[in-house]
Structures are given as structure tokens and as C-alpha cells.
Amino acid sequence: MDKKNVLVCVKKDILHPIGWALREFEKMVIVKYVDNTKQIDDLLEAGISFCVLIIDSILQDKSTFEYIKSLKERHKHQRILYIVSEGSNKEDIIELIRSKIVSGVLIRPFTAEQMSDYIYKLCGFQKPTEVPWYMQTGIK
């Protein structure tokens, strides 16, 4: 099976939790981390396809709302997982969901299991019935 590409562009404070959540997919995905929207554009314009783009709602103290709308117009089939941060406008988020600009929304704080559920769904992977050891809480 060919590995699928996942593109991550988020604030540094959630890089570690996202990396931890994506450990489950080490044999199935190649994760590329970028710092800004220009790097996203460069990769997409170079013709690299990503099964999902994980992007923070606020980067460099600016909302990514307008950027995501324009990105979706240029790359209609790109799946986008939107990480909603404090300070995000509720109406903007509702618009993104209703107009199907984003494929999913995760609200901070989120769990590794929530992240992995989206990766399974958006990349088209079959979810195993057993929970990986590092996601088990011991709570029944």
C-alpha cells in the first residue's frame, strides 16, 4: 500500500499532540509540517497531493478563514481538517461547515483519539477494533 501524504500547518503549541496522534499511522502516512500558508500554497502548486490538510484557525495571530475559502476554490478536492482555536469567530466556523469548505472541525483541546478518528475518515483507512496502547486511558 502506498503511503498517503498529510500536511500539517498549526501553531507550535499543538505540534506535539498532533504528532503523537499521528504515530498510529506511521506505516500509512507521510506527514509534512509547515509553518505558514505560503508553504502550503507552494506544495500544492508543485502538484503534491495531500489526503488531508490539518490547519489551525489562527496562524501568526491572523485568522485562516479567508485563506481556507480561497484554497478550497483553487483546490476543490482538498480535504481540510480545521483546528479551532480560542478567538475564532463562531459564525465563520459554521459557514465553513455548511458550505463544505472544511471536511472536519476539531475544537481545542482535543484528544489523540479524536484526531485519529478524522485521519481514518479523511484518508479512507479502515479503523481497527483495538485501541492502541498509547491511547488507552484505563477508564471504562
Q: 24-78 pLDDT, tens per residue? A: 899 999 999 999 999 999 999 999 999 999 999 988 888 899 999 999 999 999 9
Q: What is the pTM of this model?
A: 0.88
CATH class (in words) of the domain with range 4-67+78-135: alpha beta
> What per-residue string of b and e applies to 78-101 under the rule 16 or more CB within 10 Å gives b?
bbbbbbbbeebeeebbeebeeeeb
pLDDT confidence of 1, banded at 50, 70, 90? low
Triad 23, 24, 26: Cα angle to 5°? 65
Residue 71 has, within 13 A of its CA and on its CB side, a CA count of: 27
**Residue entry with cell 500509512:** 28
Are 71 and 45 in contact, with CB atoms under 8 Å apart?
no
Q: Which amino acid is at 81?
A: L
Q: Which amino acid is at 1?
A: M
Triad 86, 117, 20: Cα angle to 5°? 70
Give the C-alpha separation, 58 to 10, whole Å.
8
88-116 per-position pLDDT tens digit: 888 989 999 999 999 999 999 998 889 99
Domain residue ranges of the chain, discontinuous segments joined by +: 4-67+78-135
Give the C-alpha separation, 140 to 124, whole Å.
28
